[in-house]
Amino acid sequence: MTFFPEIRSTTPGAFALGGGAEPAPGVRLRRVRGRGGFAEVWEADSPAGPVALKFMPCSNTGTTAREVRSIQSFAALDHPHLVKTHGVWTVPGYVVVGMELAEGTLLDLMLLYHNDLGQPIPPAQLGLYLSQVAGALDFLNARRHERAGRTVGFQHGDVKPNNVLLFGDTAKLTDYGLATPTHGPATPCPRHGTRDYAAPEVLNGYQADTSDQYGLAVMYHVLRTGAFPFPPAPVGELPKGFVRPPPDLSLVPEAERPVLARALAAAPADRFPKSGEFARRVLEAQGLMLTRSADGAARVVSAKNPTP
């Protein structure tokens, strides 16, 4: 059995989370699907079918209103590999985000393969998910989004296996809580997501156009090998100008090493121009390619024998 620490609001009179509770008319909680560092996610029944509800404890009304507006603005982004948000509202003590209900996360899948099957995720399946998340990032990162009268890109800021949700053969990126609008090659950004996946420039306080690609490459390495490509960053405040040691890529097959090394380059400009190119080169290094079957579904096949 998995142990989840409780993430509950401390606001007096906060909404009581529990099976059967109704956080919106006709929406009834069924069971907890997971807890992260800041929120609790429940599976619920709604008039439109099963949904996932994320409960984020909040107390300060000013911050809450900002948080709701920020989530709403990201909810409007539409891409086949971004998790769809159905609605954002508040109940006492929580901001609630309603979204599509996934089967699990990429982290769950990795653990299932490593712990239960004793093998890594098959390369073609992992390559498919990598390509899909790369597509979502290229969409988000491109300076094509209108925000407060400006055309901006977004760096997601928290690319990691537990923020990629799975729906059968489809992977979708979720959690825009740390997304930063970018309007130039270096956007100041005081907050960062999970340290082990963050690019060095992010740990030094700014986002570049290729910062998410770095996180994607770390995630790929973790999923491919079960290990990080460098030792953990120190805890506590990082020294100014912190640099990671060069990645140790000895656990990945030789053909993939130069591809990963480029996506993990310390200087943002030395990485691939787009995450999609990184994903394509990862597949190519394994003799794989992305294709579409007659029904339009994307799949990864052998480049030598592409008929699925």
Q: Which residues bind ligand ATP (CB under 6 A)?
A: 33-39, 41, 52, 83, 99, 101-102, 105, 162-163, 165, 174-175
Please give the structure tokens belonging to residue 242: 């912190």
Of 163 and 180, the one with the shorter C-beta distance to Mg ion is 163
Which residues make beta-bridge pairs with 301?
289
**Overall residue count recorded for the chain in this entry:** 308
Return the amino acid letter for 107: L
Q: Given the structure tokens 């794989």, which residue do they identify?
A: 288
Residue 57's SS3 state is: strand
Q: Classify the C-alpha dihedral 194-200-202-208 as positive or negative.
A: negative
- Rounded to a whole number of angstroms, the minimum distance from the CB of residue 164 to Mg ion is 9
Of 33 and 145, the one with the shorter C-beta distance to ligand ATP is 33
- Rounded to a whole number of angstroms, the minimum distance from the CB of residue 175 to Mg ion is 4
39 interface partner picked from Mg ion, ligand ATP, none, CB below 5 to 8 A per type? ligand ATP
- Rounded to a whole number of angstroms, the minimum distance from the CB of residue 220 to ligand ATP is 18
Of 37, 16, 278, 5, the C-alpha closest to 177 is 37
Of 36 and 226, the one with the shorter C-beta distance to ligand ATP is 36
Return the amino acid letter for 295: D
Of 54 and 224, the one with the shorter C-beta distance to Mg ion is 54
Give the separation between CA 151 and CA 46, rounded to whole angstroms: 36
Return the residue nearest Mg ion (CB atom). 175
33 interface partner picked from Mg ion, ligand ATP, none, CB below 5 to 8 A per type? ligand ATP
Q: Directed axis angle between helix 275-285 and helix 123-141, to 10°?
A: 160
DSSP per-residue codes, 273-307: SSHHHHHHHHHHHTTEEEEE-TTS-EEEEESSS--
Give the separation between CA 54 and CA 43, rounded to whole angstroms: 9
Q: Which stretch binds Mg ion (CB under 5 A): 86-94, 96-104, 155-163, 180-188?
A: 155-163
Return the residue nearest ligand ATP (CB atom). 36
- Rounded to a whole number of angstroms, the minimum distance from the CB of residue 225 to ligand ATP is 21
Q: Classify the C-alpha dihedral 213-217-218-223 as positive or negative.
A: positive
- Rounded to a whole number of angstroms, the minimum distance from the CB of residue 250 to Mg ion is 30
- Rounded to a whole number of angstroms, the minimum distance from the CB of residue 41 to Mg ion is 8
Please give the structure tokens belonging to residue 232: 């953990």
Of 192 and 274, the one with the shorter C-beta distance to ligand ATP is 192
Q: Is 212 in the site for Mg ion (CB under 5 A)?
A: no
- Lay out the site mask for Mg ion across 158-197 (x = CB under 5 A, - = otherwise): -----x-----------x----------------------
- Rounded to a whole number of angstroms, the minimum distance from the CB of residue 184 to ligand ATP is 27
Query: Site residues (CB under 5 A) for Mg ion?
Result: 163, 175
